[in-house]
Amino acid sequence: MTAYIGKRLLLLIPTLFGVSALTFLLIHLIPGDLVTILLGITASQNEQTRQALIQALHLDRPLVVQYVLWLGEVLRGDLGHSLVTGFSVRDELARSYPVTLQLALMAMVIALAVGIPLGVLAATRAGRSLDASTRVFSLLFISAPAFFIGTVIIIGGARYAPWLRTLGHVPFTDSPGGSLLAMLPAAASLGLAISAIIARFTRSSMLDVLGQDFVRTARAKGVADRTVVFKHALRNALIPVVAMAGTQFVYLIGGAVIIEEVFALPGMGRLVVNAIYQRDYTMIQGAVLLLTSAAVLVNLTLDLLYHVIDRRILYA
């Protein structure tokens, strides 16, 4: 087990290398002149001002050199400074990542809390009206784009519950209760959409399990129906659901850009998108490094969790 974890963690390094090199190449492929964007039309034509900025940002060096310079800084623990604002990349990431993480966690809690029970109910009442209405609910929320659900919530909130704060962010450290409440509408928009996926998946997984031999055997032995359903079937059924939920969570910690935009949350999604638009190379590199590490670590944790739930699963 330790060897497995060790091996996976070691693999993290080349993955990060690969990702950062790929990102570097990709963002430098984007046409557009950083200096013009930074200085505005008039000032960017002044040769001295241009050159001063270009040299300050090392933009005159060949790409490989720029990458190596950046890499050197990272290995020394310095993620550098934003090319656009001069703010420390580490500070910006430290400010915005907790927002994204909080949103992701809250959305997952809502998704699981709503999705799993619904899926189980639908499976046990398969073929009847509850099942049908669950399917309708699921399909509705799967197919409605998140920005649409979000706007409906915001506009509805503004009209019918103006006291409810739907926009902006209250840092958790300022006020835990307030923070959770303020982020609830955004988390709900995301969470409901994901709960639909979870519900569908739980339902089909439960149906799979309920049809298996050992379940029938247990029933034949006369164990009470309820116990059969919940103890044995659920545990087995949850395994693929956990895997699926894990994938969703990994996607969420990448920053739900659209929800962040609609609900004015200062998270990683918006940070990176703005960085891309502004050609803020150092910020993009730092952010991608963080997001990729997080994704890989979360994947590793989920794999281990998966293993704990079902000891029969072998390592790939």
Partner 1 sequence: MKALPRALRSGSLLAGGLLVAGLVVAALAAPWLAPYAPTTIFAGAEITPPGPRFLLGTDEVGRDILSRLLYGARVSLGVAFPSVALAVLVGTTLGVGLGYWGGAPDLLAMRLFDVLFAFPPILLAIALVAALGPSTVNLVLTIAVLTLPQFAVLARSATLALKPQEFVQAARALGASHGRILGAHVLPNVTPTLAVQASLSLSIVILVEAALSFLGLGTQPPAPSWGSMLSRGRQYMTIAPWLVLAPGLAIMLAVLGFNLLGDAQRDLLDPRRAAGGRRTP
Partner 2 sequence: MADRTDHLMHVQHGHTRRAFLEAGALALVGLAAPPLALPATAQAPKRGGTLVIAADVSPPGLDPQKSAAAHSWMISEHVYGNLLRRDPKMNIVGDLAESWQTVNETTFVFRLRKGVTWHHGRDFVAEDVKYSFERMLDEKTASPWRSNWQIIDRIETPDRATVRFVLKRPFAPFFSYLATPHYSAIVPRDIVEKEGDLQKTASGTGPFMLDRFVPDNTVVLKRNPKYYESGLPYLDGMEYRIIPDEAARVAALRAGTVHYFWSVDPLIDRQVQGASGVVLREPDGYCAQHGMAFNQTKPPFTDVRVRRAVSVGINRKEIIASVLRGHGGISTKIPPCDAPFGYAGDEKGLPYYVHDPVQAKRLLGEAGLANGLDTTLEISPRFPQTIRTAEVMKEQLAAAGIRVTLKQTEWGATLKNFVRTEYDGMSMIPLVWQPDPDAHVYDIFHSGSNINLGKFKDAEVDELLERGRTTLDREKRITIYRDLQQHMADQAYLVFPYASGATEVLRDTVKGYISIPGAQPGSRSRHFFKQTWLG
User: Does 86 contact partner 1 by CB under 8 A?
Assistant: no
Q: Give the C-alpha separation, 93 to 290, whole Å.
A: 8
User: Binding pattern to partner 2, positions 86-105, x when CB under 8 A?
Assistant: xx----x--xx---------
The residues that bridge with 81 in the sheet, in sequence order, are 88
Residues from 191 through 250 that contact partner 2 (CB under 8 A):
none
User: Binding pattern to partner 1, positions 131-170, x when CB under 8 A?
Assistant: x-------xx-xxxxxxx--xx--x---x-----------
Are 71 and 238 in contact, with CB atoms under 8 Å apart? Answer: no
Residues from 4 through 33 that contact partner 1 (CB under 8 A):
11, 14-15, 18-19, 22-23, 26-27, 29-31
Are 104 and 153 in contact, with CB atoms under 8 Å apart? Answer: no
Are 292 and 19 in contact, with CB atoms under 8 Å apart? Answer: yes
Q: Give the C-alpha separation, 316 to 293, whole Å.
A: 21
Which partner in partner 2, partner 1, none is near 2 (CB below 5 to 8 A by kind)? none
Least spacing, CB of residue 194 vs partner 2, in Å? 21
Alpha helix stretches (DSSP H) within the chain: 2-29, 34-43, 47-56, 63-75, 89-124, 129-143, 146-160, 176-210, 213-220, 225-227, 234-253, 257-262, 268-278, 281-309
User: Does 33 contact partner 2 by CB under 8 A?
Assistant: yes
44 or 293: CB nearest partner 2 = 44
Least spacing, CB of residue 173 vs partner 1, in Å? 25
User: Does 228 contact partner 1 by CB under 8 A?
Assistant: no
What is the DSSP track for 99-127?
A: HHHHHHHHHHHHHHHHHHHHHHHHHHTTT
User: Does 27 contact partner 2 by CB under 8 A?
Assistant: no
Question: Residues in the site for partner 2, rule: CB under 8 A?
Answer: 30-34, 36-49, 52-53, 56, 84-87, 92, 95-96, 151, 154-155, 157-159, 162, 165-169, 261-264, 266, 270-271, 274, 277-279
